[in-house]
């Protein structure tokens, strides 16, 4: 569980996140949605500790991120997996090398154990053995995302962060990625936070949805509530897509 309390973040006096409080539940896919420039990425990176916040508290279970020293943060980060928008795979090493990297860096596993873990993670994201030796530039965008997910779960994290995990993917592959993240969240009992503006993701896996607008918390609910809400800003955001407008009418 991650608890965010009264979070404020500004850049050069410009307040980007204003007084956001939210609880991200364990074992659920927690989505952050909002227009481009609404502050989603800043919120995500603040929760991750990549940005120093102005005010507020960020609790990872019973540990306050803000009060942690550099050493404690480093240790805690080994409990975090992150899937970046572009995959962020290390392009100078192979697919299996990417998964093995955190294992090499932070575990005392034998080579055989590492290979087994690599195979386990890649198998969980449906990457075939033939692709293990390929380099990131030699695989498709969808595969890169799946490898990025496999790398994120390599150290068996408690917390999984995904920044626009299905951007740039076709709708079918995007659904596969969404479902994969949801299944992994359930299987490994992780606290998953997904940053997205893809309404398909919201409808597919939005167990808990936070809608932010201009850096403020505007609405919180689930995918079932989202089509029934009266919140004007949220309705404007969702029903900009005619398909969802028809769903609401229908």
Partner 1 sequence: MNFFFNVGRYFLMLKRVFARPERHKLYIRQLFHEIDTLGVNSVGIVVIISIFIGGIMTIQFAYAMSNPIYPSTLVGLGTRDTLILEFSSTMLALIMAGKIGSNITSEIGTMRVTEQIDSLEIMGVNSASYLILPKIVAVVFIFPFLFIMSVFFGLLGGMVTGPLVGVITIPEYIEGIQWLFVPYYITFSLIKSLVFGFLVASVPAYFGYYVQGGALEVGKASTRAVVNTNILILFFDLILTRLLLT
Among the listed residues 21, 37, 55, 91, the single contact to partner 1 using CB under 8 A: 91
Residue 138 or 224: which CB sits closer to partner 1?
138
**Does residue 8 touch partner 1 according to CB under 8 A?**
no
Q: Compute the C-alpha angle 242/247/250, nearest 5°.
A: 120
**Does residue 63 touch partner 1 according to CB under 8 A?**
no
Site for partner 1 in 155-184 (CB under 8 A): 155, 161
Residue 62 or 70: which CB sits closer to partner 1?
70
Residue 159 or 219: which CB sits closer to partner 1?
159
Could you tell me whether strands 63-64 and 80-83 are parallel, antiparallel, or unpaired per DSSP bridges? unpaired
Alpha-carbon distance 196 to 250, whole Å?
25
Among the listed residues 21, 50, 55, 245, the single contact to partner 1 using CB under 8 A: 50
Write out the two tokens for 61. Answer: 């279970």
| Sheet containing 216-221, strands listed edge to edge, beginning at the edge strand earlier in sequence | 63-64, 55-60, 2-11, 14-24, 216-221, 208-213, 29-33, 191-196, 159-163, 80-83
Residue 195 or 213: which CB sits closer to partner 1?
195
Site for partner 1 in 129-158 (CB under 8 A): 155
**Number of C-alpha atoms within 13 angstroms, CB side, residue 120?**
14
Residue 90 or 120: which CB sits closer to partner 1?
90
Q: How far is the CB of 102 from partner 1 (least distance, A)?
A: 5
* 20 and 194 Cβ atoms separated by less than 8 Å: no
Write out the two tokens for 238. Answer: 């969702």
Q: Which residues contact 157 (CB under 8 A, 6 or more apart)?
A: 78, 79, 80, 81, 188, 190
Considering only 19-27, 78-86, 165-173, 228-236, which stretch makes contact with partner 1 by CB under 8 A? 78-86
* Site of interaction with partner 1 (CB under 8 A): 48, 50, 73-78, 80, 82, 84-86, 88-91, 101-102, 104-106, 155, 161
């Amino acid at each position: 569980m991650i608890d965010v309390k009264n979070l404020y973040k500004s850049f050069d006096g410009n307040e980007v996140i204003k007084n956001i409080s939210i609880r991200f539940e364990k074992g659920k896919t927690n989505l952050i949605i909002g227009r481009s420039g609404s502050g989603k990425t800043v919120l995500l990176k603040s929760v991750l500790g990549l940005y120093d916040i102005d005010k507020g508290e960020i609790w990872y279970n019973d540990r306050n991120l803000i009060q942690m020293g550099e050493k404690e943060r480093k240790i805690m980060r080994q409990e975090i997996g992150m899937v970046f928008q572009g995959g962020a795979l290390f392009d100078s090493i192979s697919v299996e090398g990417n998964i093995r990297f955190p294992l090499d860096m932070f575990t005392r596993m034998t080579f055989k154990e590492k290979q087994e873990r690599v195979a386990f993670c890649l198998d969980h994201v449906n990457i075939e053995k033939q692709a293990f030796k390929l380099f990131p530039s030699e695989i498709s965008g969808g595969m890169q995302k799946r490898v990025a997910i496999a790398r994120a779960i390599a150290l068996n994290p408690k917390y999984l962060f995904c920044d626009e995990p299905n951007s740039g993917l076709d709708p079918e592959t995007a659904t596969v990625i969404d479902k994969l993240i949801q299944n992994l969240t359930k299987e490994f009992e992780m606290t998953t936070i997904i940053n997205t503006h893809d309404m398909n993701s919201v409808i597919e896996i939005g167990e808990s949805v936070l809608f932010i607008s201009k850096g403020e918390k505007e609405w919180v609910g689930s995918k079932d509530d989202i089509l029934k809400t009266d919140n004007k800003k949220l309705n404007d955001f969702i029903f900009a897509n005619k398909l969802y407008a028809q769903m609401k009418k229908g």
